[in-house]
Amino acid sequence: MTVAVIRFGGSNCDRDSVQALEHLGIDAEIVWHEDGLPADVSGIMLPGGFSYGDYLRAGAMAARSPIMAEVREAADEGVPVLGVCNGAQVGCESRLTPGVFTTNESARFQCEHVHLRVENADTPWTSAYEEGEVVEFPIAHGEGRYEIDDNRLDELESEDRILFKYCDAEGEVTPESNPNGSKHNVAGIVGERGTVAVMMPHPERASLPDVGPVDGQGVLQGFAE
Ligand SMILES: NC(=O)CC[C@H](N)C(=O)O
């Protein structure tokens, strides 16, 4: 079983992602987007970074790489797909998941640790946690504010497709615990299939014990589910 971590021009979390996955015993390899998807992949990760320098909108150009049609096909067949940070932006820009990630309310690049509340623990990406559990993840983005029209957000809420919300250390979801102005404090969602997920916080940067907190391991273990 090998997870393909797709590298676009400007990806910069691809090696960290492979390292974090391998630490968990999950085989992973970097795949250059122009080479196309290997035939036998058992998972796909869209890593963080600044693909194409975030020109136009973050993720917009990578979303138009031909490999994304292959990713969609694999996702439709049930191959798990996880987009993290720039990968989440690529996931939304390529319509694997609804909504968009746009400029932070602060209009600044923000690099900090945040608390997240697990909203739905019944997905491969969150089954390692309890519903309502508070976890700590790093964020590092300039365009992480989740936007979607109100009706579709209500749908996501009622269909239980929100994985994580930004919260405070006690698990309260408030405007003060929202680092970037995301609607309803949304930090990560699943697509129509629960096997496709995107999130702005970085699980791969919270997975190696030598580096700091390891709350992110549970998300990456989704590939082994
Ligand atoms: N860490 C990242 O993936 C950076 C995300 C993105 N390019 C932004 O700044 O919004």
| Pairing of β 2-7 and β 27-32 | parallel
ipTM of the shown complex:
0.95
Q: Judging by DSSP bridges, how do beta strands 162-167 and 110-118 pair with one another?
A: antiparallel
pLDDT tens figures, 57-108: 999 999 999 999 999 999 999 999 999 999 999 999 999 999 999 999 999 9
- What whole-number distance in Å separates Cα of residue 25 and Cα of residue 224? 9
Residue 50 has pLDDT above 90, yes or no: yes
The H or E element that residue 177 is part of is none
Measured in degrees and rounded to the nearest 5, phi and psi for residue 35 equal: -85, -10
User: Tell me: the pLDDT tens digits for 145-204?
Assistant: 999 999 999 999 999 999 999 999 999 999 999 999 999 999 999 999 999 999 999 999
Q: Give the tens place of pLDDT for each residue, 105-140.
A: 999 999 999 999 999 999 999 999 999 999 999 999
Question: Which residue's CA lies nearest to atom 7 of ligand 1?
Answer: 50
The whole-angstrom separation of Cα 8 and Cα 72 is 16
Distance from the alpha carbon of residue 108 to the mean position of ligand 1, in angstroms? 11
Give the separation between CA 136 and CA 146, rounded to whole angstroms. Answer: 19
Give the nearest ligand 1 atom to 51 CA. Answer: 7
Task: Tell me the pLDDT band of 225, cut-offs 50, 70 and 90.
Answer: confident
Residue of 57, 86, 112, 199 with the most ligand 1 atoms within 8 Å of its CB, for mutation: 86
* Amino acid at residue number 71: V
Q: Are strands 81-84 and 100-102 parallel, antiparallel or unpaired?
A: unpaired
In this prediction the pTM is 0.97
Res 1 pLDDT > 80: no
In 3D space, the residue among 107, 105, 120, 133 whose CA is nearest the CA of residue 199 turns out to be 120
Structurally, the chain folds into a number of domains equal to 1
CATH of the domain at 48: 3.40.50.880
Distance (Å) from CA 49 to ligand 1 centroid: 5
| Catalytically annotated residues | 85, 202, 204
Q: Which residues line ligand 1 (CB under 6 A)?
A: 48-50, 54, 58, 85-86, 109, 140-144
Q: How remote is the CA of residue 84 from the centroid of ligand 1, in Å?
A: 9
For residue 6, what are the domain limits? 2-224
